[in-house]
Amino acid sequence: MADWRSRRSMSCFPDDNLLTAQYRARLFLLMKISYDPSASRYEHAGKGLRRSDLNPDPIKQFGNWFTAAIEAGIRDVNAMSLATAGPDARPSVRIVLLKSFDQDGFVFFTNYESEKGKQLEANPYAALAFYWIELDRQIRISGKVEKTSRKESLTYFRSRPTGSQLSAWASRQSEVLDGRRVLDARMAEMTERFGDQPIPLPPHWGGYRLKPDRVEFWQGRANRLHDRFRYTRQTDGGWLIERLAP
């Protein structure tokens, strides 16, 4: 199994209500930052993607692109968007880290009692997306999700730094907190509780494996005429490859 281990926000205005539209426009102009998203003029310079470039197996094709992204020195190359939805059908998306992939699927780890964990319990289907702007490449993956075995979860858990193991016990992910002090207190409690002993795998923490039934490879091209190829799993286990309009 291949194992690949390895977010930022900016608010120019802490209290936007204090700034008039005219003042904001002038400030952006001074900062030389466009406040109109439609003003983006990024030009795609990809060399293109042909059917003959593709491996018949989408997992192997993913491996080829993933390796190229590593060789290109892309930071957080295993960061991916994970989209889930609960019984209310409202989608939710966040960034998680891919920890391994093989013919069985794509693996990530989290708190089973988190928002995404509850959504996956109610609706075990999800989608992943990778975007590497340096290579002008995007990969979309969707399929059914299942929990990894406890043995697999334990193996990865033990590979994490001690602080990360303790935080899996201390943080009740997605729970509302009165303040940071609550989280810090829980961390201190867990540190004292386990001391120098091996930290056990929390019952509420482990991995998920997304087993793909659709995988799309997107290569940026000039004039927004991008190359897109979609793999769709067939009933016999094979894959149908189709070119999609950009």
Burial of 176 (0-12, 13-18, 19+ CB in 10 A): exposed
Residue 27 has pLDDT above 80, yes or no: no
From 186, 224, 230, 233, active-site residue: 224
Residue 11 has pLDDT above 50, yes or no: no
| Mean pLDDT to the nearest integer, 162-189 | 91
**What Cα–Cα distance (Å) separates residue 85 from each residue in 6, 23, 25, 134, 144?**
27, 40, 37, 30, 12
How far apart (Å, rounded) are the C-alpha atoms in residues 204 and 175?
14
Locate tokens 């892309």: which residue?
74
| Mean pLDDT to the nearest integer, 182-205 | 93
| Mean pLDDT to the nearest integer, 38-48 | 62
Q: Enter the pTM of the model.
A: 0.81
pLDDT tens readout for residues 106-117: 999 999 999 999
pLDDT tens readout for residues 147-166: 999 999 999 999 999 999 99
224 catalytic residue (yes or no): yes
Question: What does 148-211 look like in DSSP terms, one character per residue?
Answer: PPHHHHHHHHHHS-HHHHHHHHH--TT---S-HHHHHHHHHHHHHHHTTSPPPPPTTEEEEEEE
| Mean pLDDT to the nearest integer, 118-130 | 98
Residue 29 has pLDDT above 70, yes or no: no
User: Amino acid identity, residue 148?
Assistant: T
